[in-house]
Structure 1
Amino acid sequence: MQVVDLRSDTITKPTLKMREVMAQAEVGDDVYGEDPTVNRLENMAAELVGKEAALFVPSGTMGNQLAVMTHTQPGDEIILGQESHIFYYEVGGFAKLSGVQARTLDDSIGIFSGDDLKSVIRDDNIHYPKTGLICLENTHNRAGGVAITKEKTDMICKVAQKNNIPIHLDGARLFNAVIQLDIEVKELVKNVDSVMFCLSKGLAAPVGSILAGSKEFIEQARKNRKMLGGGMRQSGIIAAAGLIALDERVEELQVDHDLANRLAKGIKEAGLKAIDIKEVNTNFVILEVDEDVYTTDEVLEILAEHGVKMTYFGSGLIRAVTHKDLSVGDIDYVIEVMNGELLV
């Protein structure tokens, strides 16, 4: 049976070239700052996003949590979207690791408004916590992979700068936004104080993310990384794949976006009464299920019986994510299965 895995772009396998450079990577002890491959990756990443320095971390979640920990003090309040990854999917890490509380805003379209932000920034009052950080996300996962424009990002940055509050950008799929918006990554993140992006999603490296910001910020984040157990030794073996990811995979993300649009178009043209396309952004396709015909779980089970894997995304919603390990033939097979099994 053919298997087409659309659950996430995290399931991508490293390329043959990545495997080759990993085997041959020059390594040293990175905790001592002596791994030349890690140093190259961090320098390349910092230059790419236009920041002074960068830090290689095992995961995007660790990168985000390090950003919160480094920007804030215990007792601070952070402002972030109620659907953001940091709030929704990171196990309450900011509360336990950084001792901060969250003030959430409506980011159902991928970003909250400047007016909403202004309304929740704390005054200097003895009763209030300090607003220590504002967090954004691009692309925004739970908003359906939507790419947030520079104009919208800068609008929030302007409010933050006026109030002397740092901004951290969770850019797990930052380069999908860059491709979608046709903008240089330096420009897109120019006005944020720190940015995290993953190497292990659409860029297809097997593991690792980057946290970037000022030199002083990264120095402290490096110490915090050690405290959290993220100090890696001969990590050039995995950093080598990250170099290939940044050098060769960024432009290829357009193929993933094209596959997402092909899938959406095919489902629409099939005329399935129980399935509609809620939205298509970057490499995400969000399917809306008419639960008067099928439950969401029933649709997922029917697809799974034919080797098609997608993700439950809430009542009546299914997420499909395209990535480098899928072909046009795979997408057409999914459309064929849906047309054959879900046509009511």
Structure 2
Amino acid sequence: MSDHHDRWIDLRSDTVTQPSAAMRAAMAAAAVGDDVYADDPTVNRLQDFAAELFGFEAALFAPSGTQTNLIALMTHCGRGDEYLVGQEAHTYKYEGGGAAVLGSIQPQPIANQPDGSIAVSDIAAYIKPDDMHFARTRVLALENTIGGRVLPRDYLKAATDFAHAKGLVTHLDGARVCNAAVKQGISLREAVAGFDTVSVCLSKGLGAPVGSVLLGPKAFIEQGKRWRKMLGGGMRQAGVIAAAAHYALEHNVERLAEDHQNAADLSAGLARIEPLKVTTPQTNIFYVEIPDAACAPLREALSRQGIRASIGPHTRLVTHLDVTAADVKTTIAAFEAFFRDWKAQ
């Protein structure tokens, strides 16, 4: 793909966001120290701020959401333990099997319901009895949002209450939990209620260049620091990136509503185009069914107009802070022009 455009409209993911000028200024001004010694004041400030914001005792800053999820699972589980997880969940499907490969933790995948949840009856069915033939079920891991879908609050309460009643701990992959909170009009504390530990990604819609935080009890976070070090996540003068993460949490949560509106407008525009089949977004992610024969030429046509998208028969489109309302109109027009010509062939 030729980079002949000064500015791309990039709809591949909200991971492509660029740090703003104000965020870069915060990074440049950050006080730093050696975080492995807990000497970085900016990292410490971020961790304290995140813990307070989400209502937890402590927080741990790490390079990625994959790592914070893995730290959580390895802290909660020992060798031969298992976690219950949705088949569509990131921790099961998209994180390289890390829990099994590095933690000797068995995933027990369960089918997700159309709304992204895992039925409580299925959770009950997959909890193993106390028998040496079975892995020990330790954790229920959920994800919110999942594929852009927001899990209902009453479901989250029912699922976490049930898990706790069965002696399980609960972990939330909250990579986009801020999107969920904004969509539901609730506080971040309310959005993570019922979970013992939570991973929050700061480099997606919130716009930081790198980093996630793991939230939980103090004793859990202290254990997690050991796993972070073992997994290669012990960073030195990390305040430079922690400053960006802190800025993201302070300034970029409420503005996620703009991304949701842009996704709604984009999906509505594309839905008017034959022969596309478009899902209705709840947050900043939606999917478009595109005829196989149209995919390659559409990808090339969009690229010529400075639009990046992972075009395929089942295309995911994602809006974020670097996609404007004007970009949405440009993208709709590009799709309209392509399919007008394509149908005429």
Distance 1:50 1:88 in 2: 29
Residues 186 and 70 of structure 1: is their aligned pair in 2 closer, same or farther, counting only changes over 3 Å?
same
Match of 2:129 in 1: 123
The answer to whether the Cα contact below 8 Å between 2:266 and 2:332 also exists between their aligned partners in 1 is yes
Q: CA deviation at 1:241?
A: 0.8
For residues 284-331 of structure 1, the C-alpha deviation after alignment (integer angstroms, 9 at most, x for no partner) is: 12112244xx3544443432333222225xx73101100111111111
Q: CA deviation at 1:133?
A: 1.2
Q: Which moved more, 1:8-17 or 1:300-309?
A: 300-309
Question: Residue type matched to 1:90 in 2?
Answer: E
The answer to whether the Cα contact below 8 Å between 2:298 and 2:338 also exists between their aligned partners in 1 is no
The answer to whether the Cα contact below 8 Å between 1:296 and 1:318 also exists between their aligned partners in 2 is no
Match of 2:290 in 1: 289
Question: Residue type matched to 1:165 in 2?
Answer: L
Distance 1:278 1:296 in 2: 18
The answer to whether the Cα contact below 8 Å between 1:49 and 1:189 also exists between their aligned partners in 2 is yes
Match of 2:238 in 1: 235
Match of 2:274 in 1: 273
Match of 2:317 in 1: 320
Q: CA deviation at 1:279?
A: 3.0
For residues 218-251 of structure 1, the C-alpha deviation after alignment (integer angstroms, 9 at most, x for no partner) is: 0000111011111111111110111110111001
For residues 144-166 of structure 1, the C-alpha deviation after alignment (integer angstroms, 9 at most, x for no partner) is: x1111221111110111011111
Q: CA deviation at 1:259?
A: 0.6
Alignment of 1:188-267 (within 5 A): 188-267=191-270
Q: In structure 1, the residue corresponding to 2:183 is in which secondary structure?
A: helix
The answer to whether the Cα contact below 8 Å between 1:169 and 1:192 also exists between their aligned partners in 2 is yes
Distance 2:152 2:78 in 1: 30
Residues 249 and 155 of structure 1: is their aligned pair in 2 closer, same or farther, counting only changes over 3 Å?
same
The answer to whether the Cα contact below 8 Å between 2:115 and 2:151 also exists between their aligned partners in 1 is no
Match of 1:56 in 2: 61
RMSD: 1.4
The answer to whether the Cα contact below 8 Å between 2:177 and 2:191 also exists between their aligned partners in 1 is no
Question: Residue type matched to 2:321 in 1?
Answer: K
Alignment of 1:1-344 (within 5 A): 3-107=8-112, 108-141=114-147, 145-268=148-271, 271-291=272-292, 294-312=293-311, 316-343=313-340, 344=343
For residues 250-308 of structure 1, the C-alpha deviation after alignment (integer angstroms, 9 at most, x for no partner) is: 0111111111011012112xx322212123120012112244xx354444343233322
Q: In structure 1, the residue corresponding to 2:303 is in which secondary structure?
A: helix
Question: Residue type matched to 2:279 in 1?
Answer: K
**TM-score, normalised relative to structure 1:** 0.94
Residues 258 and 29 of structure 1: is their aligned pair in 2 closer, same or farther, counting only changes over 3 Å?
same
Question: Residue type matched to 2:97 in 1?
Answer: G
Question: Residue type matched to 1:135 in 2?
Answer: A
The answer to whether the Cα contact below 8 Å between 1:212 and 1:218 also exists between their aligned partners in 2 is yes
Q: In structure 1, the residue corresponding to 2:281 is in which secondary structure?
A: strand
Q: In structure 1, the residue corresponding to 2:248 is in which secondary structure?
A: helix
Distance 1:299 1:155 in 2: 44
Distance 1:151 1:216 in 2: 29
The answer to whether the Cα contact below 8 Å between 1:149 and 1:188 also exists between their aligned partners in 2 is no
Distance 1:110 1:123 in 2: 26
The answer to whether the Cα contact below 8 Å between 1:10 and 1:202 also exists between their aligned partners in 2 is yes
Question: Residue type matched to 1:118 in 2?
Answer: A
For residues 121-169 of structure 1, the C-alpha deviation after alignment (integer angstroms, 9 at most, x for no partner) is: 011112111002111001103xxx1111221111110111011111110
Q: CA deviation at 1:22?
A: 0.8
Residues 155 and 327 of structure 1: is their aligned pair in 2 closer, same or farther, counting only changes over 3 Å?
same
Q: What residue ranges of structure 2 are gaps of 5+ in the alignment?
A: none
The answer to whether the Cα contact below 8 Å between 2:267 and 2:279 also exists between their aligned partners in 1 is no
Residues 296 and 116 of structure 1: is their aligned pair in 2 closer, same or farther, counting only changes over 3 Å?
farther
For residues 185-226 of structure 1, the C-alpha deviation after alignment (integer angstroms, 9 at most, x for no partner) is: 111212101000111111111111000001111000011101
Distance 1:160 1:30 in 2: 35
Distance 1:236 1:255 in 2: 29
Q: In structure 1, the residue corresponding to 2:59 is in which secondary structure?
A: strand
